[in-house]
């Protein structure tokens, strides 16, 4: 049996996680000096409130020990190999921790540096799970996961410009009016507009995706404490004829800490013909 593991930055909702058969290793977050774990026990509304009041938030990778424990548990449950897909090494130390843990594992562990983050990472895990579900071996699962970053596009608002700048992962200029609307594609990041209301932001995101993507799509809609906006975006993108499946998720601390409360958007995975 080949087991599949990832980390909580993948933003995989519980139902999809169970469907893919993935094991999630949580990252950690420190909010105003209080250490928390990014898992189902974390109080997201309370975390969002802390963001809005200007809390100092930092995030960190899981320890090699926690990852090694996870690999041992999967082996104990019958896994003969493990494919472990993680947030890109440019964003986190998780890949390095996983590589250390893999050397301690009782079975072979194949580490995948996804090169990406958030639900785009989740799509990499999804691709690996699809490969395994179709009878593929560990090499095919690794290869499938690695191809996804070339076929995913993200569109989103930046809820808190200063928090995004401080995090250093998203460099965008403040909009003259409203908030920036940003697109991340395989070729880079660009501001595609600005919006003072949800309707305008949704229109800009939808138009961008219609103009740039033509194949069958899987779509993840996420938000950091703006459920109404996410609902409006889901309605707009869900009506596109090429959308094969649409998934909803909430942005956890390891994403929201870098974009701010009020962020919402979509990760779109263009499937192979």
SS (H, E, C) 180-209: EEEEEECCEEEEEEEECCHHHHHHHHHHHH
DSSP letter assigned to residue 109: E
Considering the domain architecture, whether residues 139 and 249 belong to the same structural domain is answered as no
Q: Express each pLDDT in 17-66 by its tens digit.
A: 999 999 999 999 999 999 999 999 999 999 999 999 989 998 999 999 99
Instruction: Tell me, yes or no, whether 94 and 44 share the same domain.
Output: yes
Residue at which a domain ends, from 102, 127, 149? 149
Percent of the chain with pLDDT over 70: 93
Count of structural domains within the chain = 2
Residue 267: pLDDT band by 50, 70, 90 thresholds?
very high
157-211 pLDDT tens trace: 886 656 555 555 555 565 567 788 999 988 888 888 888 899 999 999 999 999 9
Q: Which residues pair with 213 in a beta bridge?
A: none
Q: Are residues 106 and 188 in the same domain?
A: no
Residue 68 CA to residue 49 CA, distance in Å, equals 34
pLDDT tops 80 at residue 146: yes
Residue 161's pLDDT is what?
59
253 and 138, same domain (yes or no): no
pTM of structure: 0.92
Do residues 131 and 194 share a domain? no
64 and 175 co-located in one domain: no
Those residues whose C-beta lies under 8 Å from the C-beta of residue 149, and which sit 6 or more positions away, are: 114, 115, 116, 120, 124, 186
- Per-residue pLDDT tens digits for 120-136: 999 999 999 999 999 99
Q: Is the pLDDT of residue 97 over 70?
A: yes
Domain of residue 12 covers 2-149
Tell me: the pLDDT tens digits for 1-24?
A: 999 999 999 999 999 999 999 999
């Amino acid at each position: 049996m080949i087991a599949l593991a990832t980390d909580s930055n993948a933003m995989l909702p519980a139902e999809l996680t169970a469907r893919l058969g993935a094991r999630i290793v949580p990252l950690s977050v420190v909010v105003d000096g209080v250490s928390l774990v990014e898992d189902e026990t974390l109080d997201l509304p309370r975390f969002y409130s802390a963001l809005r009041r200007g809390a100092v938030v930092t995030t960190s990778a899981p320890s090699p020990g926690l990852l090694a424990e996870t690999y041992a548990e999967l082996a104990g449950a019958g896994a003969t190999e493990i494919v472990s897909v993680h947030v890109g090494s440019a964003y986190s130390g998780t890949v390095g921790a996983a590589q250390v843990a893999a050397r301690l594992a009782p079975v072979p562990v194949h580490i995948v540096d996804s090169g990406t983050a958030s639900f785009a990472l989740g799509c990499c895990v999804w691709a690996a799970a699809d490969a395994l579900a179709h009878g593929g071996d560990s090499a095919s699962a690794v290869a499938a996961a690695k191809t996804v970053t070339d076929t995913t596009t993200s569109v989103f608002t930046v809820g808190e410009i200063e928090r995004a700048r401080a995090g250093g992962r998203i460099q965008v200029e403040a909009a003259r009016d409203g908030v920036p609307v940003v697109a991340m594609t395989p070729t880079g990041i660009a501001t595609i507009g600005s919006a003072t209301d949800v309707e305008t932001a949704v229109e800009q995101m939808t138009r961008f995706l219609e103009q740039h993507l033509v194949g069958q799509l899987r779509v993840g809609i996420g938000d950091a404490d703006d459920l109404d906006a996410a609902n409006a975006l889901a309605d707009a993108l869900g009506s596109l004829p090429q959308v094969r499946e649409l998934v909803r998720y909430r942005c956890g601390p390891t994403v929201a800490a870098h974009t701010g409360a009020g962020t919402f958007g979509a990760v779109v995975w263009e499937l192979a013909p």
